[in-house]
Every structure is written in structure tokens, then in C-alpha cells.
Amino acid sequence: MEAGRDTVTKSVPTPTVPPGEGSGVLAHRPQVTPQVSMNSAVDDLVTLRDFLRYAVSRFNAAKLVYGHGTATALDEAAYLLLSALDLPIDELEPWLEARLVRSERERLAHLIEERIATRKPAPYLVGRAWIKGHPFRVDERVIVPRSFIGELLVESPEAFAADAGAVSSVLDLCTGSGCLAILAALAFPQARVDAVDISPDALDVARANIADYGLEERVAARAGDLFSGLAGRRYDLVITNPPYVATAEVAAFPPEYRAEPVLAHLGGDDGLDLVRRILAKAGEHLTPAGTLVVEFGTGREILESEYPDLPFQWLDTEMSEGEVFALAAGDLAERNIPAMSDGRRRRAKR
């Protein structure tokens, strides 16, 4: 989830290694409050401010982990409470002194305890995530949406194409919830978009989101492993936020990140296996003036070392530097790029 409507913080996409406190089983053990405490909260807390303070204290005591669109206990609590009350997530101040009816107090108290007991990120608990003012359905079939590409599509579509009206076809690889495919369709109103994912469950969520935006005629959710099944198809723009977390880092995930599909994170030994496969095949699926845009985490030094001849263009955002690159179709077509680079192959032989 992106707190894209700037609730109480700017959007903070997941780092390659999720933040956490401590290590080992005890550090990640859910802390459950006795039922009497939840009943006491319902009886004693009255306003939204009361519940916000209570939630922050409970979250801090439980040492929860964030990074799914929020960075602190305060941001997580504000998102959870405002979402549960169907209030704008970018407007906290007007509602702080609002008195809550008992049914609302019961729901908020339950969600606070559920966040602690299950360690599931807030977007899963309320079934909704945001990227820069755009809501998307989410559940545990898909990763919680958070993407610098999403930020760029909303705020700087010219980073992808000088003339938005000239983009007639877009491919979103590893689409997950379909959020980037939908944002691309909104940014490029003349384009048809293919949203590809290997997970049938993820595609079901993507189709629901596509329907919510009324884009069924322009955005197609397709099953496939990257470019498989797309023979002969070429696109003006290929975007992708593939799995890019290293295997060892995935194994060390705290519970909040383990709640997400492992397939959506796992990127091989150094996190870049899928990025290499994409680089090897993208040229075959771009129009002559097409562009490839990839979000890949913090592996810039590895990529530049393994592909010294590729003229990566770095698309930085307010919150990122060197985590999204663009390549023109001509840059890819002029080079024979293997799925495993020469540098990677040399290391594998050692």
C-alpha cells in the first residue's frame, strides 16, 4: 500500500531488506492483548484522538514492523483508523475530536488488536491500499502495492513518453494487483494495456481492480511467466516492478512481510534473477521507439557492473535514487543480452 494521498506521511515503499527491531523468534512473536483490555478500550475511549493515541501506544509496545505505505506507528494507526471509518486518509485533523458510536469503537478496538495479533499490514486488514490518491483492492493473494513507478505514472508521466497520446500499447509485467497497469491506462488514455502475472490468484485481484476503474475494454489481465505467451506482441512501453529481494533476505522477513506472497518478493540469490531475464527478452517486445522501465531495488552497482554497455537512464523520485531505470528499444536491440550476464556467469563458475 502506498499512503499515496499523503495521509500523515509521504509514501514509503518497501526497502529491499524490510525494517525490523531485534532478531530471532521472540522479536517477531505476536503479542496478544487479553479480551478484557479490548472491552476496556471500547468503554473508556470516546474520540478518534483517544483511539489514535491508544493504537500508537499498543503498536509501539508490540514492536510492530512497518513499510507497507507507512513508516511509523502513528502513520499506521492513522491509516487503519481512518480507513475503517471510511474517512479520507489524507485528512486526520478535522476528525480528531469526533465522538464515536459504540459500533465504531468496537470495530476500531478489534482492528487494533488484530494488527498486533496477526502482524498483518494494515492494508490487508481493511482490504484497501492507495497509490497517490488511487485506491486498490488488496488481500493476501497479492503484495501490498507500493512502487516508485506508480508515483512516476501519476506525477511525471512525461518520464515515460514525451507525448502521452502517442502511447498506444503498454505491457505491465508482474502486475500483482494490477495497480501499475491501471495507472498506466489513466496516464496514457489512448493505450491498451496487457497486465501479466504468473499467479492466477493475483490476476483475480487485478481483474477486480480493473473492473472497479471501468477499464475492462482497455486493460487485459493475462496469465504468463514474464514474456511467455506474448510471442509477436510489441509495446510502446513495458513497465515492471518484479520480485527483487534476495533469497536470504526473504528467509529473514518479519511477520508483516511474510504475510505477503513469497513469489512476489523472491528474486534469487542477489534479487536480480528476474531483472536479468527481462533485460534478455525486452528488446523482442518493444516497438522501435519503445521504452523499458524497471523498478529493481538497490542493485544498481551490480547491474552497472554486469551490463557496462547498457546506457541506463535513472528515474529518481522524491523518495528514491537509482532504483528505477529506463532503456530505449534501440539500446536493447543493438546488444545481444543473455539471461545471465557475462559478469554473473563468471561469478557462477567460481
Could you tell me if residue 148 is inside a domain? yes
Are 105 and 148 in the same domain?
A: no
Last residue of a domain, one of 126, 149, 176: 126
160/208 same-domain check: yes
* Residue 4 within a domain: no
In angstroms, the Cα distances linking 221 to 170, 192, 209, 224, 307 are: 12, 11, 10, 10, 31
Q: Are residues 189 and 57 in the same domain?
A: no
Asked, for residue 14, whether it belongs to a domain, the answer is no
Q: Do 230 and 305 belong together in one domain?
A: yes
Contact 51, 105 (CB under 8 A): yes
pLDDT for residue 30: 45
Does residue 209 share a domain with residue 75?
no
Structural domain includes residue 1: no
Query: Collapsing DSSP states into helix, strand and coil, what is residue 217?
Result: coil
pTM of the predicted model as reported, rounded to 2 decimal places? 0.86
pLDDT of residue 107: 97
pLDDT, residue 326, reads: 97
The confidence score (pLDDT) of residue 7 equals 32
Q: How far is CA 253 from CA 66, 142, 264, in A?
A: 12, 17, 13
Q: Does 320 fall in a domain?
A: yes
**In a shared domain, residues 170 and 314:** yes
CA distances from 59 to 115, 118, 121 (A): 8, 12, 12
Residue 299's pLDDT is what?
Answer: 93
Q: What pLDDT, on the 0 to 100 scale, is given for residue 17? A: 35
Together in a domain, 343 and 217:
yes
The residues with which 328 forms a beta bridge, in sequence order, are 291
Q: Kindly state whether residues 193 and 331 are assigned to the same domain.
A: yes
Q: At what angle do helices 102-118 and 48-62 cross, to 10 degrees?
A: 10
Domain contains 188: yes
Burial of residue 203 (CB within 10 Å: 0-12, 13-18, 19+) is buried
- Listed residues 126, 145, 167: the one ending a domain: 126
- What is the pairing mode between strands 313-314 and 324-328? antiparallel
- Compute φ and ψ for 270, nearest 5 degrees: -115, 10
Task: Say whether both 159 and 65 belong to one domain.
Answer: no
Q: How far apart are CA 111 and CA 131, in angstroms?
A: 22
| pLDDT for 342 | 45
Question: Are 99 and 184 in a shared domain?
Answer: no
CATH number, domain containing residue 250? 3.40.50.150
Domain extent, residue 121, equals 24-126
Assess contact for 136 and 145: CB atoms under 8 A: yes
Query: Per-block average pLDDT, block size 10, for the chain (350 residues)?
Result: 33 34 36 58 93 97 96 97 96 96 97 97 97 96 96 95 95 98 98 98 98 98 96 96 97 97 96 97 96 95 95 92 96 74 43
Q: Identify whether residues 139 and 29 lie together within a single domain.
A: no
End residue of a domain, out of 79, 104, 126: 126
Residue 105: how many CB atoms within 10 A of its CB?
Answer: 21
Q: Are residues 56 and 173 in the same domain?
A: no
Please check whether residue 70 lies inside any domain of the structure. Answer: yes
- How many domains does the chain contain in total? 2
